[in-house]
Structure 1
Amino acid sequence: MHPPPSSNQKKTQDLFLVCGLKSLGQHCVAILKEYDVKVSAIEDVQPEHWEVPEVPNLLEKLIVGDCRQPSILEQAGIRQCRSILLVTRNERINIEAAFAARRLNPQVRLIVRSDKQNFNKLLWENLGNFVAFEPTHLSAHAFALTALGSEAIGYFTLEGQLLQVIKHQVQAKDNWCNGKPVHRLNLTTRRILSHKPVSSKPLKELFGWNPEAEVQVGDTLVYIDVAYDLAFSEQRRQSHNQKWQLQQFIQGITAKNLKDKIVQFWQSYYQSQNQIRRIATIYAITVLILWFVGIVLYRLYYPDITIQEAFYATAVLLLGGYGDLFGGVEFAAQSKPSDDIPWWLRLFSLGLTLTGQAFVGVLYALLTDALVTSRFHFFNSRPPTPQRNHLIIIGLNRLGQKVAALLQELNQPLVGIHPTTLDQETLPDMPLVVGNATEALIKANLSHAKSIILVGDDNMENLEIGLMAHAMNPATTLIIRSQDRQFSDNVAPLFPYAQVICGAALAAEVFACAAFGENVLSLFHLNEQIVMVTEYKIEDGDTLNGLLLSEIASGYSVVPILYQKYQQDNYFLMPWYDVKLDAGDRLIVLATSTSLQRIEWGEMLPRQWSVQIEKALTTNAIMYGAEEIVLITGCSSTTARQWMNNLPRVLPIPLYKHQAQRLVRELSKVQVLANLIFIGQP
């Protein structure tokens, strides 16, 4: 971060250079201008189509040429630039231009469009003040979360812990929140982002909700909490369900229904197996029974032989050795010649041999079937298409593959549709339907699908397939990718059942914010706004240094979710707002683009409230009350004690509403009577 510029410097100090004016570059220009800064651009050819029509009027200067050339960068003012955004569609050009820009301006911040993660890390370590993003990865999260169709509207990981953003409409059965003041819902693992009463409009500010309002049925709560490892939780749940089902099956067995239970187990266990495996199982059981009977008969008829000899003799017969035992050779260890064996025992021995030979034939068939099946799976090892409540992804390009990977991480059943087959190494655990999308929808069980995601590279084709899918299953959630903001703006109002997402517009928010030094970790949608998970490293003299977290939260409309003290290993998720920031501290917040602009310029919202303290009910209340004032307002202990020793009085310090309300609540706990006063803008 940088210290806030003075008012007369805002429009003259910062120059930002955008290289590449395709879709992403144009959106970056439009968003940067919202920060009231100068923006110039370089494009290799004069643009013929402006996806964002106002861009030509927003640019200070447009240079046509190769952004890798030092002379072109000089013309664009690289030496005066604060940041350069290299967002052409060629990674090689972007990285080479980054080298040229850094050589001409060692202080310029480099924001590069690149997917070479290892190389990007090396560049960051060697160049410094360097950050790289891939638009596909940034927008993939938005598509994946929209497709879930659940209360979760955001997922991201901090320090190895998975956090989720939930949008929940309060039900009568929600004892955890129904009828309680909003401020009581904040925990060490949960933080309220928004509370919208049932009859009100969505809030524009993250911190615009009233902490004292009681949550009622029909209200909408948006909160962030720690979800830990969802994959592990899902596996544990499935394992628990399997154990529970087996336990219920065993407990349900009685003497009367034993036969029915065996039949039920047989049918359920082999319902997915072929007929030859059933026959093999029957033969195996038969052979074991005959083996046991043969041992008993030979032992009874020949008392002089041992059980071991009877065991091996029966085994030889089962393996086709009838001729070895009865073909003129005397029976091993027998006391009588073989021709003294009764006819029925000879016949039984022949039956053993025939049965054994048949069993060997079945084993050969089973092995052949296994080899053929394994060879088939070698060429096509993808799992079968889910039957219901799954997601369908049409167009497995880079974006589609990234969306699929994210959904698999969240254990979502899905199936992909693509014109051609994919490599086995590409999403091997995802079912795939190959062919024309319109014909493949039936094979993908669209009639029972939960969501369909169209991320192809052709806007009109995505729309056509989307409308067709909606006609086949109006209940499914429809998410359509658009590469043109004008297309999105025109189509979205005409088809309200479809959610049209422009990936370039999403990614541009992150690129623009990164140009000011912020480290954007993730993003999600809330109330038609993009909320970014943004990391700050506090520096001397910047706009956050020396402020309480409560002041930062209310003054800039952000939500602090992680705080780490300088040179300390431990960190705090959902930190309490009484912490004061110092240089070197680390802070991660949820913020909209407007909030980040406020932080950039140090323009805090006005403090319009104060607290009137009537009296302290006990002597100790004066001391405890002073401690609460110090903790919540950040004033000195001496000043707080002076105020508490001269009651009643209005505290001569303006506060934000959340601060003032919390101070009143905490004072009441230590037996100090106080109330809120609206003092207007100071």
Structure 2
Amino acid sequence: MIVCGDDALAERLAAELTTVYGERVTLVVPPARGAAPSQRARASALLSRMQAVIGRADGDPTAPRVVEATDVDEATLAEAGVREAAALALVHDDDEANIHAALAARRLNPRLRLVIRLYNRKLGQHLEELLDQAAALAVPGLDPQALDTSTTVLSDADTAAPALAATAITGTSKVVQADGLLLRAAERTPPGPGEVADPGLCTLALLSSTVNDPAGAEGSDASGRSGPTLLPDDATVAAATGRGTVVLETVTHTAAVPPARALSVRGVPFGSLFSRRLRWSLAGLVISVCALAVATWWTGGGHPLHAAYVTLLDLFAINDPALGKPAARQVLQLLAGLAGLLLLPVLFAAALEALGTLRSASALRRPPRGLSGHVVLLGLGKVGTRVLTRLRELDIPVVCVEEDPEARGIAVARRLRVPTVIGDVTQEGVLESAQVHRAHALLALTSSDTTNLEAALYARSVKQELRVALRLYDDDFAAAVYRTLRAAHPQALTRSRSVSTLAAPAFAGAMMGRQILGAVPVERRVLLFAALDVAGHPQLAGRTIAESFRPGAWRVVALDTAAPGERLPDLAATPVRGGGGRSAGLVWDLHPGHVLRSEDRVVLAATRQGLAELLGRRAATAPRQAPRQAPPGSRRG
């Protein structure tokens, strides 16, 4: 595996491939010598962080190989071994540099699996088609959808958005996205006497430690000698009394967020269209007109509708004067004319106010009064915009705060009719305008660490039990902030998030192949989620769900019921709404006696060794052992 990049995402991606998947990695970074002082310091810091994260020294044979190069051209790629590589990740922050390197890599190795970092979705889609078509033309008879030639374009903002959204809802980033559905691995404490444990969709693991951290520490050290038990069978789960479990469950709005007042996303409610004073004025005039109509009917007789009609004519001053009429009729006509004079300015004011409200509604909505149970999202940059879209897809009520009225996410907030406050979150009154004291969670996703921290601390002072997730770039700073906030507010849930850390698993999964949906850590071990075609796998084809389950190796958790022609090539990608009339895909509540057919596609949870056996590969060795030696030209998926 080759990783080309010069920032934290490259560092995390190389660490993910090495420690989780046990792959041999070559890292291409800018040169530390002969470069500008800032670039030299950046490259040196990247290498030192790499060694710290992976825990390998320069002399360790399993440590990533490092190639220093100013430009990622054909010569650099050849030196990195792109002709023999299984996959290449181009994760520079420069889209143009990534595209140039991808085109060069495809020429050198048409069978190479490419993973490219691009923010522009439309450009990425066209680039995927172009590179897959180039591979098909370079090797006659090669299937463009084949695993070893797939091109995947990802954005770190897109891949981090599901985990950030799940953090706001459930407080954890141990999530996997499949067919647009968010799944999380939730740790459950042992049930007490007389209690029944909730198994969720299925039990993924038995924890080696039953100690529960009330502050929400993510993961726990393997305090037991044998470590966690991955993918246990029902008998093992029933016999393991007193041990915590990790279960698979769906992330939903109703299960995670307290009931909130509905947020209208279509139309403008009457209460926000007209002010309270104007509504009272209109109500008073209507009551006056009704009283005049009743008085006209009572004094003049006749039909009530005729009395109302005459009153309206008097009100709009289009009736003949009541000359020669009784005095009561003349007085009522004068009163009706006076009411008409009062009605004119009220109607004019109503028209102006409604016009201004409609213009504001077409631009940005204000948070409605009495809103509660929502998520306050700070920052509408590229990351905040993706998280906002994901939260609205899950039907989570959101209130956004953005300082720049021209930010890229403002147009998205306007289109989704999401209430937005324009202002600096560090200024007094801005978070109050977003109703943070009634919010369920706060997501601080601005590009400034200090701004995110200041907003989080202020929100804590307003509502101590508020769930807070911070976007912090520096890992040491994030760890210090997390420990301090946890100690100061032990009953509150605080999370510090790095976009590169959240995005790295998705990039690593794409490098392993489109069948990998994600990885979930369980203490010191890892469970992989993969989408697999049943055809060609005798361990699955023709077997029931119960028979296909191998404890400790793999377990089928879902079945894709979509027709083969309508299936998404990448289940980890978010499906486009309303695209092509595609029917709903995955079914999670499977009967143990259901027989798997060759044309089926399943989602399974597996260990690394179990997935390697299913894919026909040798079992992955432990990351700290010597690297696997492959003959020249051999393929490693």
Aligned to 1:53: 51
> Aligned partner of 2:588: which letter?
L
The answer to whether the 8 A contact 2:534-2:599 is kept is: yes
Aligned to 1:277: 279
1:587 and 2:576 are equivalent in the alignment: no
- Counterparts in 2 of 1:119 and 1:24: CA distance versus 1, 3 Å: same
The answer to whether the 8 A contact 1:179-1:214 is kept is: no
The structure with the larger Rg is 1
1:522 CA displacement: 5.5
The answer to whether the 8 A contact 1:231-1:409 is kept is: no
Measured in 1, the distance between the counterparts of 2:7 and 2:515 equals: 24
Deviations 1:438-469 (A, max 9, x none): 53344444444433322233445544544454
Measured in 1, the distance between the counterparts of 2:555 and 2:356 equals: 60
The residue correspondences of 1:212-611 to structure 2 (distance < 5 A) are 213-214=237-238, 222-224=246-248, 273-295=275-297, 297-298=299-300, 313-321=310-318, 324-326=320-322, 338-339=323-324, 341-377=325-361, 380-384=364-368, 388-422=372-406, 424-428=410-414, 429-437=418-426, 439=428, 440-471=430-461, 473-489=463-479, 492-496=482-486, 498-521=494-517, 533-537=529-533, 540=536, 553-557=550-554, 560-562=557-559, 573-575=588-590, 585-591=600-606, 601-603=617-619
Deviations 1:223-253 (A, max 9, x none): 44578x86899999979xxxxxxxxxxxxxx
The answer to whether the 8 A contact 1:566-1:584 is kept is: no
> Aligned partner of 1:478: which letter?
V
Aligned to 1:133: 154
- Segment drifting more, 496-505 vs 80-89: 496-505
The answer to whether the 8 A contact 1:558-1:595 is kept is: no
Give aligned-pair identity as a percent: 20
Measured in 2, the distance between the counterparts of 1:270 and 1:37 equals: 58
The answer to whether the 8 A contact 1:21-1:41 is kept is: no
Measured in 1, the distance between the counterparts of 2:598 and 2:397 equals: 46
Measured in 2, the distance between the counterparts of 1:500 and 1:311 equals: 67
> Aligned partner of 1:147: which letter?
A
Measured in 1, the distance between the counterparts of 2:173 and 2:79 equals: 48
Measured in 2, the distance between the counterparts of 1:272 and 1:171 equals: 54
TM-score normalised by length of structure 2: 0.68
1:62 CA displacement: 0.5
The answer to whether the 8 A contact 2:273-2:357 is kept is: no
TM-score normalised by length of structure 1: 0.65
> Aligned partner of 1:146: which letter?
T
> Aligned partner of 1:500: which letter?
S
1:434 CA displacement: 0.8
> Aligned partner of 2:315: which letter?
L
The answer to whether the 8 A contact 1:270-1:278 is kept is: no
Task: Point out where structure 2 has 5 or more consecutive residues left out of the alignment.
Answer: 33-42, 133-143, 145-149, 213-219, 221-226, 263-269, 567-584, 622-637
The answer to whether the 8 A contact 2:516-2:528 is kept is: yes
Measured in 2, the distance between the counterparts of 1:310 and 1:199 equals: 81
Aligned to 1:191: 202
SS of 1:402's equivalent?
Answer: helix
The answer to whether the 8 A contact 1:393-1:404 is kept is: yes
Query: Equivalent of 1:211, from 225, 235, 242?
Result: 235
The answer to whether the 8 A contact 2:609-2:619 is kept is: no
The residue correspondences of 1:586-665 to structure 2 (distance < 5 A) are 586-591=601-606, 601-603=617-619
The answer to whether the 8 A contact 1:392-1:452 is kept is: yes
The answer to whether the 8 A contact 1:555-1:604 is kept is: no
- Counterparts in 2 of 1:92 and 1:271: CA distance versus 1, 3 Å: closer
SS of 1:437's equivalent?
Answer: coil
Query: Equivalent of 2:3, from 13, 18, 33?
Result: 18
1:214 CA displacement: 4.7
SS of 2:317's equivalent?
Answer: coil
Deviations 1:595-644 (A, max 9, x none): 65676644399xxxxxxxxxxxxxxxxxxxxxxxxxxxxxxxxxxxxxxx
Measured in 2, the distance between the counterparts of 1:312 and 1:487 equals: 75
Query: Equivalent of 1:97, from 92, 98, 101?
Result: 101
1:146 CA displacement: 1.8
1:40 and 2:26 are equivalent in the alignment: yes
Measured in 2, the distance between the counterparts of 1:106 and 1:542 equals: 30
SS of 2:44's equivalent?
Answer: coil
Aligned to 1:245: none
- Counterparts in 2 of 1:152 and 1:502: CA distance versus 1, 3 Å: closer
Measured in 2, the distance between the counterparts of 1:528 and 1:342 equals: 97
The answer to whether the 8 A contact 1:561-1:589 is kept is: yes
Q: CA RMSD in A?
A: 4.7
Measured in 2, the distance between the counterparts of 1:524 and 1:415 equals: 30
> Aligned partner of 1:77: which letter?
G
Aligned pair count?
532
The answer to whether the 8 A contact 1:191-1:574 is kept is: no
- Counterparts in 2 of 1:383 and 1:217: CA distance versus 1, 3 Å: farther
> Aligned partner of 1:85: which letter?
A
1:113 CA displacement: 1.3
Query: Equivalent of 1:87, from 91, 104, 129?
Result: 91
- Counterparts in 2 of 1:411 and 1:170: CA distance versus 1, 3 Å: farther
Aligned to 2:165: 144
- Structure with the greater relative contact order (CA < 8 A, sep ≥ 6): 1 or 2? 2
> Aligned partner of 1:514: which letter?
A
Task: Point out where structure 1 has 5 or more consecutive residues left out of the alignment.
Answer: 1-15, 240-267, 301-305, 327-337, 606-682
Measured in 2, the distance between the counterparts of 1:233 and 1:103 equals: 49
The residue correspondences of 1:104-119 to structure 2 (distance < 5 A) are 104-119=108-123
> Aligned partner of 1:562: which letter?
L
Measured in 2, the distance between the counterparts of 1:485 and 1:592 equals: 28
Measured in 2, the distance between the counterparts of 1:115 and 1:551 equals: 40
